Amino acid sequence: MKTSDFDYHLPPERIAQRPLADRSASRLLHLERATGQITHTRFAEIGRYLRPGDMLVANNSRVIPARLYGVKAGTGGKVELLLLERLGAVTWKALAGGRRLTEGVIIKLLDRDGRESDLLAEVTAVLDGPQREIQFSQPVDELLADLGHTPLPPYIHEPLDDAGRYQTIYAQPPGSAAAPTAGLHFTPDLLIDLRRQGILFETATLHVGLDTFKPVEAERIFDHAMHSEWIQLTPEAARRINEAKLAGGRIIAVGTTSARILETAALRSAGLMGSLQSVSRPDGEGYALCPWRPVAAYEGPTDLFIHPGYQFRVVDGLITNFHLPQSTLMMMVSAFAGREQIIRAYQAALAEPYRFLSFGDAMLIQ
């Protein structure tokens, strides 16, 4: 399949620039895979489509204020760093913006008022494209609160008044460069209501990294290489997920990152311990059903690329926002529901006043 097969026209004015005052007031498009039926409602009503014993599995990674600004020592040239992955106590992989950021360049980091701080950074390796290995003069974790900025996606042009609105209410371990946005719709009251309804809730971790910012440049989707991201599914969480499934509940992934965690854990339990790049068949158009596989506890990298032809082993339902054209996320939801159904659902959302992308509205695919 070609990358262009996942294209659609997204008018810029349909990209949500601000979160709604009430998280759960966003719209919800429900897509039934078996029939293709589309229903429009509000996210606060999601319980209508769930039943007792179902389990929501959400990514609890916390976005770190990973965008840093600085100047090159000596020349004063402006530099922007987006921290992507910790490599050591003081070493990070980062996306770097600025001219001539070659190995050995020293950067003076600025505080939020634009003044030079005591923190220095050195470019210790030039990696692919704008990626750089950065070594700081001291650990930056405790300094990010004073120096770092929330790394909003490039298509959001308005400042965010409350950085907490780019976090899920259950975010815990810090490490993401972007929010797992499907979870932004949940409120404490909604989760309590779902619990009273008998809906179970579980968390796992995927620290969102480089692929959130990397476009698909290959003409054929099978030629696109996914960078790995770090995930953790604890033994206790894996046991509870398997027990819910064995008891007849459906496993509903809250977002594409949660789906990657679950499917990676299912593939690992099936003995696929190597690269997960090629587990999708190259002939998929509609969605493919596969016998259930239990999940296994796992902590480590995943490079799983889910696109049409992939057979889901554990995910029965998917809560997700509306994604960029030709993105790996469009390919994943197309694998789950079929490309033609997803394109039709997106056209239905465009015909209604749905808001798109990170601060936009949601879909529930079952």
Task: Enumerate the β-bridge partners of residue 340.
Answer: none
Higher pLDDT, 39 or 291: 39
- Domains of the chain, residue spans: 3-63+162-365, 67-147
Higher pLDDT, 221 or 70: 70
Task: Please tell me the predicted confidence (pLDDT) of residue 214.
Answer: 67
Confidence (pTM): 0.90
Distance CA 195, CA 362 (A): 20
Task: Please tell me the predicted confidence (pLDDT) of residue 209.
Answer: 79
Task: Please tell me the predicted confidence (pLDDT) of residue 173.
Answer: 95
Residues of the chain with pLDDT > 90: what percent?
Answer: 79
Task: Decide if 3-63+162-365 and 67-147 have a common fold.
Answer: no
Mean pLDDT, rounded, for 292-313: 92
In this prediction, residue 27 has a pLDDT band, given cuts at 50, 70 and 90, of: very high
Task: Please tell me the predicted confidence (pLDDT) of residue 98.
Answer: 94
CATH number at 67-147? 2.40.10.240
In this prediction, residue 211 has a pLDDT band, given cuts at 50, 70 and 90, of: low
Residues 6+ apart with CB under 8 A from 168: 58, 59, 60, 179, 180, 183, 184, 186
Task: Please tell me the predicted confidence (pLDDT) of residue 293.
Answer: 86
Task: Please tell me the predicted confidence (pLDDT) of residue 177.
Answer: 87
Q: Percent helix, strand, coil in the chain (nearest 5)?
A: 25, 30, 45
How confident is the model over 309-321, as pLDDT tens digits? 999 999 999 999 9
CATH 1.10.357.10 assigned to domain 3-63+162-365? The reply is: no
Mean pLDDT, rounded, for 29-55: 98
Task: Please tell me the predicted confidence (pLDDT) of residue 128.
Answer: 85
Task: Please tell me the predicted confidence (pLDDT) of residue 102.
Answer: 96
Mean pLDDT, rounded, for 304-330: 95
Mean pLDDT, rounded, for 81-89: 90
Residues 6+ apart with CB under 8 A from 94: 81, 82, 83, 84, 131, 132, 133, 134
In this prediction, residue 186 has a pLDDT band, given cuts at 50, 70 and 90, of: very high
Task: Please tell me the predicted confidence (pLDDT) of residue 74.
Answer: 87
Which of 23-27, 145-149, 242-246 has the weakest average pLDDT? Answer: 145-149
Structure tokens at 30: 């429900």
Distance CA 310, CA 332 (A): 9
Residues of the chain with pLDDT > 70: what percent?
Answer: 93
How confident is the model over 237-291, as pLDDT tens digits? 999 999 999 999 999 999 999 999 999 999 988 776 454 554 555 555 556 566 7
Distance CA 318, CA 292 (A): 16
In this prediction, residue 85 has a pLDDT band, given cuts at 50, 70 and 90, of: confident
**3-class DSSP state of 109:** strand
Task: Enumerate the β-bridge partners of residue 254.
Answer: 58, 319
Task: Please tell me the predicted confidence (pLDDT) of residue 285.
Answer: 57
- pLDDT at residue 20 tops 70: yes
Mean pLDDT, rounded, for 134-153: 92
Task: Please tell me the predicted confidence (pLDDT) of residue 289.
Answer: 61
Across the chain, mean pLDDT equals: 92
Provide the pairing of β-strand 91-97 with 62-63.
unpaired
Distance CA 250, CA 314 (A): 9
- pLDDT at residue 49 tops 80: yes
